Amino acid sequence: MGNNFKMTAKTLYGFEDILESELKALGAMNIEKGVRSVSFEGDKGFMYKANLCLRTAIKILKPIWYFKVYDEKSLYDNIYKIYWDKYLNASQTLAVDVTLNSRHFTNSQFIALKTKDAIVDRFRNTEGRRPNVDLRHPDLRVHVHIQNEQCIVSLDSSGRSLHQRGYKTKTNIAPINEVLAAGLLLMSGWDGRTDFLDPMCGSGTLLIEAAMIACNIPANINRKEFGFEKWSDFDEDLFDKIVESSLNKTQEFHYKIYGFDKAPSAALKAKDNVKNANLSEYISIENKDFFKSKKPVEEKLHMVFNPPYGERLSIDMQDFYQSIGDTLKQQYSNTNAWLVTSNMEALKFVGLRPSRKIKVFNAHLESKFVKYEIYEGSKKAKFN
């Protein structure tokens, strides 16, 4: 208990409840939901576990300093006061990220620059030399969050965003973010107890995330590195134990995950990414047009997909979304079908009444995640 400290997990809009549930399941303490974030407490080992296992977290931040900020001077002075030599030495590199919502400041790049100045000035004045900035691969990533007059300075324990799982080497024109994919799957109730289909699988993200959820494989097991591995207090033996313990909790999956894509190049990319994730035994991918397909299994099917929105792929929206509805009605009885789209107008052409609609964001696009329940033997009555 004495070694616990506060942390903040950043997430996407609307995923706070899911992330809270994940943290509870992992064993976090004193959990509090925020906006696009959930705060919690745990020890160093739990920080490692959170980075490794959380599916809907983008960053795990460790706050080290809180203060009121009103102007450039109060920002600089308070950043300068921090004992930065506890976290960094002059021969290492740093980067500063900023999130900002304040009437006193409007430019996040300015805040990042002043923060960097305060840190390097302290080193120069106390040690006669200073750390350099490395925006791509720093030894320490500092996060500054200003909300009105409240400033929180944190260490970023994740490094690169946790959506960068490490298994995806090839993508398509409009790939879905891995954290978004995992959150949508969990939101849909996917638990690995049925067969699964993504009929427009692209580079395979939803398929891979679905398999990892079904098998309880740690979300970030394929990552090459986390930010905390460069910290001066990094405990490699502890981290290895956390990895081993997490892998011991994986489970067998007794169904099948299917992916279709009309484009041969997409199907090949998806296969490569599935292979990189070591999940080929669970996932079957075919170069197939969903609109000419039939349900691959007789039993209950869980479907989640991310059809084109018309933002980056040019298609006839009315015809395309009407074909989605027709295919579901005619060929996919006994299926729970979920799709996410930012094209609200196109949804009207599906011709099915959704049983659920959830507001989410895909990148900066406000979207709807909708569920269609296709009952066994019914092709019309229940939806008109």
Residue 262 sits in a domain of what CATH number? 3.40.50.150
The CA distance from 248 to 246, in Å, is 5
Whether the predicted pLDDT of 382 surpasses 50: no
195 and 152, same domain (yes or no): no
Judgement on whether residues 138 and 216 belong to the same structural domain of the protein: no
Kindly state whether residue 24 falls inside one of the protein's structural domains.
Answer: yes
pLDDT of residue 308: 83
184 and 148: one domain? Answer: no
Name the one residue in this structure whose structure tokens are 């398999």: 211
Both 118 and 200 in one domain: the answer is no
Q: Are residues 193 and 302 in the same domain?
A: yes
Are residues 10 and 119 located together in one domain of the fold?
Answer: yes
The pLDDT value given to residue 310: 55
Residue 167 domain-assigned?
no
DSSP state of 232: T
How crowded is the C-beta side of 252, counted as CA atoms within 13 Å?
A: 1
DSSP per-residue string spanning 187-217: HTT--SSSEEEETT-TTSHHHHHHHHHHTT-
- Number of domains forming the structure of the chain: 2
Element (H, E) at 55: none
Distance in angstroms (rounded) separating the CA atoms of residues 338 and 301: 11
- Domain shared by 129 and 204, yes or no: no
| DSSP for 292-326, written as a single string | G---S-SS-EEEEE----SSSS---HHHHHHHHHH
Distance CA 26, CA 129 (A): 42
**Model confidence band, residue 102 (pLDDT cutoffs 50, 70, 90):** confident
Closest CA to 11 of 202, 162, 200: 162
On whether both 211 and 80 belong to a single domain, the answer is no
Tell me: do 285 and 348 sit in the same domain.
Answer: yes
Looking at the domain assignment, is residue 162 inside a domain?
no
C-alpha count within 13 angstroms, C-beta hemisphere, residue 292:
6
Q: Is residue 313 over pLDDT 60? A: no
Indicate whether 107 and 211 sit together in one domain: no
Q: What is the mean pLDDT of residues 251-278?
A: 95
Res. 174 pLDDT band, cuts 50 70 90: low
Residue 90, classified by CB atoms within 10 Å of its CB into exposed (0-12), middle (13-18) or buried (19+), is middle
What domain range is 379 assigned to? Answer: 178-220+252-383
Q: Which residues pair with 374 in a beta bridge?
A: 335
Q: What is the pTM of this model?
A: 0.93
| Within-domain flag for 226 | no
Same domain, yes or no: 49 and 83: yes
Q: Residue 281's pLDDT band (boundaries 50, 70, 90)? A: very high
Q: Does residue 8 sit in helix, strand or coil?
A: strand
Residue 142 has pLDDT above 60, yes or no: yes
Q: Is residue 173 part of a domain?
A: no
Same domain, 16 and 147: yes
Confidence of residue 384 (pLDDT cuts 50, 70, 90): very low
Q: What is the pLDDT of residues 208-249, one digit of tens each?
A: 999 999 999 999 999 999 999 999 999 999 999 999 999 999
Range 281-308 average pLDDT: 96
Tokens 């994730």, residue located: 277
